[in-house]
Amino acid sequence: MHNPSLITSIEARNQAYRESLENPEEFWGHVADQFTWKRKWDSVLDWNFEEPNVRWFDGAQLNITENCLDRHLPERGDEIALIWESNSPNEESKKYTYNELHEAVCVFAQVLRSGGIKKGDRVCIYMGMVPELAIAVLACARVGAIHSVIFGGFSAHSVADRVNDAQATAIITCDGAYRGAKDIPLKAIIDEALQHCNSVKTVWIYERTNIEIELKEGRDILWKQAIAHVNIQEAINTPAETMEAEDPLFILYTSGSTGKPKGVVHTCGGYMVWTHYTFTNAFQYQRGWVHFCTADIGWITGHSYILYGPLTAGATTLLFEGIPTYPNPDRFWEIVEKHNVDILYTAPTAIRSLMSAGNDWVMNHKMPSLKVLGTVGEPINEEAWQWYHKMVGKGNCEIVDTWWQTETGGVLISNLAAVTPSKPTFATLPLPGVEPLLVDENGNEIFGNNVSGNLCIRKPWPGILRTTWGDHERCKQTYFSTYPGLYFTGDGALRDENGNYRITGRVDDVLNVSGHRIGTAEVENAINLHTGVIESAIVGYPHDIKGQGIYAFVIYQGLETDLRTLSHQINETVSREIGAIAKADKIQIVSGLPKTRSGKIMRRILRKIAEGELESLGDTSTLLDPSMVDSIIQGRL
Ligand code: WT7
């Protein structure tokens, strides 16, 4: 399939960029022409950032799975759509051709239909990284159900919050999941969560680990039994649901600076165009290439660059069940060699952890198939960038540093592999359709180069979030009100002398731990639930592997226990409330927190203490009790 919107030179990039901003309607209309629509749009773009209201391809109808699957069948039905690699190197890989994946999705779509799932219903998916996860997601999209994938590391409590917020009527899960040396009892966690959810009528369970599970009569159905009843021919012949371009495709919950995660909503048409456009251009995907994105489908990276981007492009996408260091820290390299991976897309935290395992593990693998190395999720430090380039890419691969967010649907700022230059630690230039700008605290634009500020975007691109589920006001408040008329990313950035952007990290109360977004308020709420905890404040601090670690300052007046036991117990509470990813790396018991006279915690000071920058604490005279700071410093971990 010829991709008319593939950019292949700097000149073409600059021209596309100019055209996309001068005449977005013509530009994106042209890009969108290459997809399969059931009906074309009446207008390409209507928008204002005040409400906000953004509509792309209004009036158009489509089903995204016809673009991921059906349209490839005549030409490449027998080519591999999906390669699955097990957690264990001893278990055989699985491969699905486009024909096979299409069939599997049609069959499970039929299961959903017979379970009463219809367009607009919400279905939560809580599974390990098995092919059936991809099938479940696409089957939801096929029948028009709004999927909400919940990362398998979240606790029952977090699952329940998300299921309730979305008012999901069904769950698709597994008995358990393998992740490295661990088995996660997913179904048992669902059972616990569902004690607090009454919207859920049906639970489908794919058996992966064969652990014992309880089945609830009238609610729980085994995947294998359900698909056994489907007439395959009928399933294939049942048309995909007709969706409006602006109908929601999925909800994905993400943490913000307040306590409650918000459900970011993406819609069918714009998201499809954006993931395809960014996938093909940033990675410069070529027909026949194998694309290995190591993220979990529970995060936006997995949605956009394991599933929708690669599949709309007709690529071979690789889905890996395990983790980079199991059984050894060369598991990625083994997989790259075994499947002749062309594009590897991973996170700086994974790169740093593999780097710390020593060079032998990577030097034993030549990996001649590799062409493009992508990074995403957090700022990449120079050392990790160079190691990725030299050790993994053997100096022969392009590195693309792709900056984006759950809310942006796909990449916004990145170099285009071998087309525009890379610059270590810089995401470099915006993609066509993306107009970044830097503002100061008061919202005044910072012009010129060699400047830094808060990163905003001026106009909508097709993949921008449309709302936060059930609470449009929150969407407005969070992203469109800080700087009226602009989308605010929550990130700080620097612009160099050539206009390249370097993302320096979050400027709000959001942490980025191992590439996962963690809201400080959420963790504090969890810690505060622990018996004896009076109050807590958490901040990030630089961590060699995770990028940021979590430092908790806790006021505790409970039973006397030794610090180690207490820290352990507090983290158990965090695991129970949120999940193990939010555990604190350091917990310091303090007698008070630095507060202003109005009672606001001065996080700036705590951040400096956690970072060890004790000389630059700044002005502490406005504190209610400035001596508090000294006592916290003395107890520093
Ligand atoms: C935040 C978004 C988008 C996929 C994974 C994370 C940080 C993301 C980069 C990058 C520097 C990056 C930002 C952003 N981030 N990519 N290439 N360089 N920082 O999605 O959970 O929505 O987090 O991740 O701080 O705001 P997310």
Residue 565: count of CB within 10 angstroms of its CB:
9
Q: Above 70 in pLDDT, residue 279?
A: yes
How confident is the model over 305-309, as a mean pLDDT? Answer: 98
Q: What does the pLDDT read at residue 618? A: 80
How confident is the model over 294-298, as a mean pLDDT? Answer: 98
Strand partners, 171: 124, 203
Q: Above 60 in pLDDT, residue 1?
A: no
Joined together, the tokens standing for residue 310 give: 């690669």
Numbered ranges of CATH 3.40.50.12780 in the chain: 65-241
Numbered ranges of CATH 3.30.300.30 in the chain: 510-634
Ligand 1 geometric centre to CA of 362 (Å): 26
Whether residue 327 has a cis bond before it, omega within 30° of 0:
yes
Strand partners, 505: 492
Ligand 1 atom closest to the CA of 404, numbered from 1: 3
For strands 547-556 and 533-543, give the pairing: antiparallel
Ligand 1 geometric centre to CA of 264 (Å): 15
Q: Above 80 in pLDDT, residue 441?
A: yes
Among 151, 147, 169, CA closest to 65: 147
Dump pLDDT digits (tens) for 11-56. Answer: 999 999 999 999 999 999 999 999 999 999 999 999 999 999 999 9
Dump pLDDT digits (tens) for 170-193. Answer: 999 999 999 999 999 999 999 999
Residue 448: count of CB within 10 angstroms of its CB:
8
- Alpha carbon of 289 to those of 240, 381, 424, 444: distances in Å? 28, 28, 25, 45
Torsion angles phi and psi, residue 587, rounded to 5: -125, 115
Shortest-distance Cα residue to atom 2 of ligand 1: 405
Ligand 1 geometric centre to CA of 454 (Å): 15
Q: What does the pLDDT read at residue 623? A: 83
Which strand (E) or helix (H) includes residue 608? helix 603-611
- Confidence band, pLDDT 50/70/90 cuts, at residue 599: confident
* 408 ligand 1 Cβ < 6 A: no
- Confidence band, pLDDT 50/70/90 cuts, at residue 283: very high
Q: Above 90 in pLDDT, residue 390?
A: yes
* Range 65-241 has CATH code 3.40.50.12780: yes
Q: Crossing angle of helices 131-143/98-114, nearest 10°? A: 60
Collect contacts of 562-569 with beta carbons under 8 A, ≥24 apart.
Answer: 563/587, 563/589, 569/530
* 402 ligand 1 Cβ < 6 A: yes
Which CATH architecture is the domain 510-634 placed in?
Answer: 2-Layer Sandwich (3.30)
Ligand 1 geometric centre to CA of 273 (Å): 21
Torsion angles phi and psi, residue 407, rounded to 5: -70, -20
Q: What does the pLDDT read at residue 585? A: 97
Shortest-distance Cα residue to atom 5 of ligand 1: 377
- Confidence band, pLDDT 50/70/90 cuts, at residue 4: confident
Dump pLDDT digits (tens) for 549-582. Answer: 999 999 999 888 899 999 999 999 999 999 999 9
> How deeply is 259 buried, as exposed, middle or buried, from its count of CB atoms within 10 A (0-12, 13-18, 19+)?
middle
Of residues 615 and 176, more confidence is placed in 176
Q: Write down the H helix ranges in 356-471.
A: 360-363, 382-387
Q: Above 90 in pLDDT, residue 625?
A: no
Q: Write down the H helix ranges in 60-183.
A: 64-68, 73-76, 98-114, 131-143, 156-166
Percentage of the chain lying above the pLDDT 90 cut: 93
Find all residues with CB under 8 Å of 147, minimum gap 6, and list them: 122, 123, 124, 125, 136, 137, 140, 141, 249, 250, 251
Dump pLDDT digits (tens) for 459-468. Answer: 999 999 999 9
> How deeply is 326 buried, as exposed, middle or buried, from its count of CB atoms within 10 A (0-12, 13-18, 19+)?
middle
Assign 632 to helix, strand or coil: helix
What single-letter amino acid sits at 623?
Answer: L
- Confidence band, pLDDT 50/70/90 cuts, at residue 598: confident
* 547 ligand 1 Cβ < 6 A: no
Q: Phi/psi class of residue 594: alpha, beta or left (left: φ > 0; alpha: ψ in -120 to 50)?
A: beta
Determine which of 95-104, 177-186, 400-409, 622-631 has the lowest per-residue pLDDT on average.
622-631
Q: Above 80 in pLDDT, residue 2?
A: no
**How many Å apart are CA 150 and CA 409, to the nearest integer?**
17
Whether residue 24 has a cis bond before it, omega within 30° of 0:
no
Among 481, 483, 394, 404, CA closest to 445: 483
Q: Above 60 in pLDDT, residue 313?
A: yes
For strands 487-495 and 451-457, give the pairing: antiparallel
Ligand 1 geometric centre to CA of 381 (Å): 14
How confident is the model over 365-384, as a mean pLDDT? Answer: 97
**How many Å apart are CA 392 and CA 605, to the nearest integer?**
39
- How high does pLDDT run on average in the chain? 96
Percentage of the chain lying above the pLDDT 70 cut: 100
**How many Å apart are CA 414 and CA 278, to the nearest integer?**
9
For strands 262-267 and 467-468, give the pairing: antiparallel
Q: Above 60 in pLDDT, residue 347?
A: yes
Dump pLDDT digits (tens) for 477-534. Answer: 999 999 999 999 999 999 999 999 999 999 998 999 998 999 999 999 999 999 999 9
Task: Tell me which of 255, 349, 404 to substitute to probe ligand 1's pocket, judged by most ligand atoms within 8 Å of the beta carbon.
Answer: 404
For the CA atoms of 232, 234, 237, 240, the dihedral, rounded to the nearest 10 degrees, stands at: -90
How confident is the model over 149-170, as a mean pLDDT? Answer: 97
Among 254, 325, 340, 294, CA closest to 518: 254
